[in-house]
Structure formats: C-alpha cells, structure tokens
C-alpha cells in the first residue's frame, strides 16, 4: 500500500512540475512547440479548453447536488485522492468523491439531506390560544 501511495505522490509531483514548466513558457514558445509536433495550436488550445470546461461542469454538478441536499463544502478544499477529488460537508462532516473523467459521484453526503442543515427542518406551528 505504501508503494502505491509513494508512486501516486511521485506522479502528482511530476504532473505539478510539468504544469509549472508550462507556466514559465511564452505563448510563442508553446505555439512553436505544438507546431513542431505537427499539431495546429488553435485546435490544441480548443481541445484543452474543452477538457477544462467539461471538468469544471462536472465539479459544478457535484456542488449543485450537494447544495440541493443542504450540504456546504468549501470550494477551495477539494483534494485529489486515489479515487478522485474529495471534500466534506462543513456542517456534518459527510464526504463526497467525484471523478473528472466520468463525472461519477459517491459518498455518504449524497445519501440524503444534511442532518445539520435547517433547510429541511419541519417547523411546527404553535396553536393560537
């Protein structure tokens, strides 16, 4: 298990380093590099934009579903785990995991309304005297 965790951490570090290396390149350098591989920079930019927008839409779907159930998550607390991105409800501690590739959502936060949220609390009317 430790080997898988170390491997996963190494891959994540490498991905972050690759991403950081792209940030320091000029637009012209990136276009030239893409063209050197025979690809159209505009098509590659559109493809990348589409992938990022689809991932964002999936995240928004998860946040909307949690909100509809009365759960509150900190949008900057999403963490990448072995089986997807995960977060917890700030009110009740229930968790949710989703994958950006499939949009699959799972976790006990999806089982029902947040027990700590007053969004679903039924208030009794006091009888008038």
Convert the pLDDT of each residue in 31-48 to its tens digit.
Answer: 888 889 888 988 988 998
Average pLDDT over residues 53-81: 91
Strand ranges, E, within 44-117:
79-81, 84-88, 95-98, 105-106
CA 103 from chain center: how many Å? 9
Q: Cα–Cα distances in Å, from 59 out to 21, 80, 88, 103?
A: 26, 13, 14, 8
Statement: residue 91 has pLDDT above 60: yes
Q: Rounded distance, CA 37 to CA 118, Å?
A: 56
Strand intervals (E) in 1-129: 79-81, 84-88, 95-98, 105-106
Q: Determine if the pTM surpasses 0.85.
A: no
Helix (H), strand (E) at residue 4: helix 2-23
Is the pLDDT at 104 greater than 50, yes or no?
A: yes
Asked if 99 and 107 touch (Cβ cutoff 8 Å), the reply is: no
Domain extent listing, the chain: 2-120
Say what angle helices 41-68 and 27-36 make with each other, to 10 degrees. 110
Q: What's the whole-number mean pLDDT along residues 12-23?
A: 79
Cβ-based neighbour number of residue 91 at 10 Å: 15
**What number is the average pLDDT over the span 63-86?**
90
């Amino acid at each position: 298990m430790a080997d898988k965790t170390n491997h996963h951490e190494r891959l994540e570090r490498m991905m972050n380093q690759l991403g950081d290396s792209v940030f320091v390149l000029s637009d012209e350098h990136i276009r030239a590099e893409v063209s050197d591989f025979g690809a159209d920079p505009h098509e590659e930019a559109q493809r990348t934009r589409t992938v990022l927008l689809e991932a964002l839409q999936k995240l928004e779907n998860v946040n909307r579903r949690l909100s509809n159930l009365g759960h509150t998550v900190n949008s900057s607390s999403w963490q990448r785990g072995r089986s997807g991105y995960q977060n917890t409800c700030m009110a009740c501690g229930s968790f949710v995991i989703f994958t950006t590739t499939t949009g699959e959502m799972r976790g006990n936060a999806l089982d029902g309304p947040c027990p700590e949220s007053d969004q679903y609390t039924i208030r009794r009317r006091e009888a008038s005297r």
